Amino acid sequence: MLVDIDRERLEQRTAELKAAGHEAVAHHADCADEAAVEGYARAAMDAFGRIDGFFNNAGIEGDLAPTHEYDIAMFDKIIRVNLRSMFLGLRFVIPHMVAAGKGAVVNTASIGSERGLAGACAYNAAKHGAVGLTRTAASEVAQKGVRVNCVMPGVIETPLLVGMLEQMFEGDVQAGMDKLGQVATLNRVGQPREVGDVVSFLLSDEASYVNGAKWEIDGGALATIRNDV
């Protein structure tokens, strides 16, 4: 089941999966709304009878501004979408996994969970919170058969990154890609599939002894301080 507030994108991705031979169900919802999240968890149970894996991935970039000048309404919006939605997902999906005695959750954090990105106080706060939620939930439900981990993507070529780069580089997205790609030791930006592969592993039984962990998918950005860029 795919869940998104963007109906057009949701229908497009669902159609792509079906065309590739996968079973896919689309569910339109605001992931930061309590009733909507309870609804998508229930819809997944109705459609499939169980929830084996859950990728808790809703997020927006928001505006960039110094912390002491940051718009309060924008701060609240980012926390709502990036952190509240994650909590609600855990709140309404995990009970179904506990009842089944098995399940795996992957939350999306960020390398912003480890470092400060100037101008992104709300985004960074939410992503630090994502790690806290992950570790707390992991410690609570491990003995009930449920694992909870998080991924920490670096500079990944997604619509969220494009939105940030448009602000940071005055609309020159490619210049931003080239510049930020140098942060990684691999000297390039990452692709969504490279994150998806790690998420798929963490949701699978191949990762049965992985719990409460942070998986960096950043091309080595956090591993070193580059002195050649």
The pLDDT tens digits of the residues spanning 32-50 come to: 999 999 999 999 999 999 9
pLDDT (tens digit, 9 = 90+) per residue, 75-85? 999 999 999 99
Q: What angle do CA 43, 130, 81 make, to 5 degrees?
A: 55
Domain containing 70 — which CATH number?
3.40.50.720
226 — pLDDT class (breaks 50, 70, 90): low
Residue 91 has pLDDT above 70, yes or no: yes
pLDDT (tens digit, 9 = 90+) per residue, 7-21? 999 999 999 999 999
Tell whether 93 is covered by a domain: yes
Tell whether 100 is covered by a domain: yes
Give the rounded distance of the alpha carbon of 195 from its chain centre: 10
State how many domains the chain has.
1
How far is the C-alpha of 160 from the C-alpha of 222, rounded, in Å?
Answer: 20
Task: Tell if the pTM clears 0.85, that is, is over it.
Answer: yes
Tell whether 34 is covered by a domain: no
Q: What is the average pLDDT value for the chain, to the nearest integer?
A: 93
Residues serving a catalytic function are 123
Tell whether 200 is covered by a domain: yes
By residue range, what is the domain housing residue 96? 51-217
104, exposed or middle or buried, with CB in 10 Å at 0-12, 13-18, 19+?
buried
Tell whether 17 is covered by a domain: no
- Nearest residue to 198 (alpha-carbon basis) of 136, 150, 131, 157: 150
Tell whether 196 is covered by a domain: yes
192 — pLDDT class (breaks 50, 70, 90): very high
Q: Give the model's pLDDT for residue 201.
A: 99
Q: What angle do CA 210, 215, 218 make, to 5 degrees?
A: 160
Tell whether 225 is covered by a domain: no
26 — pLDDT class (breaks 50, 70, 90): very high
Tell whether 7 is covered by a domain: no
How far is the C-alpha of 154 from the C-alpha of 111, rounded, in Å?
Answer: 5
